[in-house]
């Protein structure tokens, strides 16, 4: 992989991946909805990055826009699709708005092929896997998430992209994330804000959600996508995480112990053993690419 095209490059994960690729000498073309000058581009994505202001609804003009800036994909370019748009956040908005994301993702596969990309890497979520399992009658519990429209649209995106990739004859790799976080807890979400409160010794509301999550820091996520670009196999479906899922209550308690210099071994935070635990398996990713997680909660405390 000598070059990469990244949609959704101004988002948390897309920006981290673009900057990591650029630091490793990969020539990156970043796509996003924001207007950025060259100074912004270099600061956000690195010196080996170019940028196109292009919304996904206008993805049909991608080939023309790439020609206009004289950017050539070459013979070893991989397309990474991080773009997704809700109303105020990725997971909200109407079902129609969510489904449009899936349509635009599928269209991106066709244009990736037209540009000569050798591989299309789509970015999904663990929510899609959980709702798929529920619809198939698997698992012991109901699907409790409030993100049903988002999960269904992500599931549709996976299947539509896979079908178009087969028809266009371009390698397709699907990936799933649970909770990607910046290790400095920037880009606030409920989880990031609560972890920040704990690190600062402030009180927080106990979570009621008993679902399993797998928190992974974006430094590791960026490296995982680099390895997938290099070694990811056609038709693979990789989960990117620590493979040690826990409830939010367990994560919060773990950080509380670390902040107070207590031994984490005193906590009972084992890898969950139930019907959903298999969804967090990172073994296929490790076997195909050699990826291992390096960043830990202790590193996050140092950042803070």
pLDDT tens across the length of the chain (304 residues)? 999 999 999 999 999 999 999 999 999 999 999 999 989 999 989 988 999 999 999 999 999 999 999 999 999 999 999 999 988 888 888 999 999 999 999 999 999 999 999 999 999 999 998 888 888 876 545 666 778 999 999 999 999 999 999 999 999 999 999 999 988 888 768 899 999 999 888 999 888 888 889 999 999 999 999 999 999 999 999 999 999 898 899 999 888 888 877 655 545 555 444 556 788 999 999 999 999 999 887 777 777 7
CB 282 within 8 A of CB 241: yes
Domain ranges for the chain: 3-177
- pLDDT at residue 275 in the model: 58
CATH code of the domain made up of 3-177: 3.40.50.720
Query: Which of 239, 281, 243 lies closest to 128 in space, CA to CA?
Result: 239
pLDDT of residue 139: 55
pLDDT given for residue 92 in this prediction: 86
C-alpha–C-alpha distance, residues 130 and 134, integer Å: 6
DSSP run (H or E) holding 113: helix 95-115
Q: What is the pLDDT of residue 21?
A: 97
């Amino acid at each position: 992989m000598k070059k990469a095209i990244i949609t959704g490059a101004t988002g948390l994960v897309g920006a981290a991946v673009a900057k990591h690729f650029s630091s490793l000498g990969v020539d990156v073309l970043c796509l996003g909805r924001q207007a950025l000058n060259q100074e912004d581009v270099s600061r956000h994505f690195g010196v080996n990055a170019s940028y196109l202001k292009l919304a996904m609804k206008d993805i049909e003009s991608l080939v023309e826009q790439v020609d206009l800036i004289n950017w050539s994909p070459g013979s070893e370019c991989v397309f990474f699709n991080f773009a997704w748009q809700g109303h105020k956040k990725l997971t909200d908005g109407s079902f129609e708005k969510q489904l449009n994301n899936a349509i635009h993702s599928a269209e991106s596969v066709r244009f990736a092929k037209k540009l000569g990309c050798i591989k299309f890497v789509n970015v999904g979520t663990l929510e899609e896997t959980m709702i798929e399992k529920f619809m198939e009658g698997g698992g012991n519990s109901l699907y409790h998430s409030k993100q049903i429209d988002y999960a269904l649209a992500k599931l549709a995106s996976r299947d539509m992209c896979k079908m178009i990739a087969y028809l266009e004859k371009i390698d397709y790799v699907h990936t799933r994330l649970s909770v990607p976080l910046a290790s400095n807890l920037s880009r606030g979400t409920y989880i990031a804000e609560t972890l920040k409160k704990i690190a600062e010794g402030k009180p927080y509301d106990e979570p009621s959600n008993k679902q399993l999550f797998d928190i992974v820091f974006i430094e590791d996520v960026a490296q995982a996508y680099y390895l997938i670009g290099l070694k990811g196999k056609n038709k693979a479906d990789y989960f990117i995480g620590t493979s040690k899922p826990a409830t939010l209550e367990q994560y919060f308690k773990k950080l509380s112990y670390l902040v107070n210099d207590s031994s984490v071994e005193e906590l009972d935070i084992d890898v969950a053993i139930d019907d959903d635990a298999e969804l967090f398996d990172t073994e296929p990713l490790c076997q195909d690419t050699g990826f291992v997680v390096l960043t830990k909660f202790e590193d996050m405390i140092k950042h803070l």
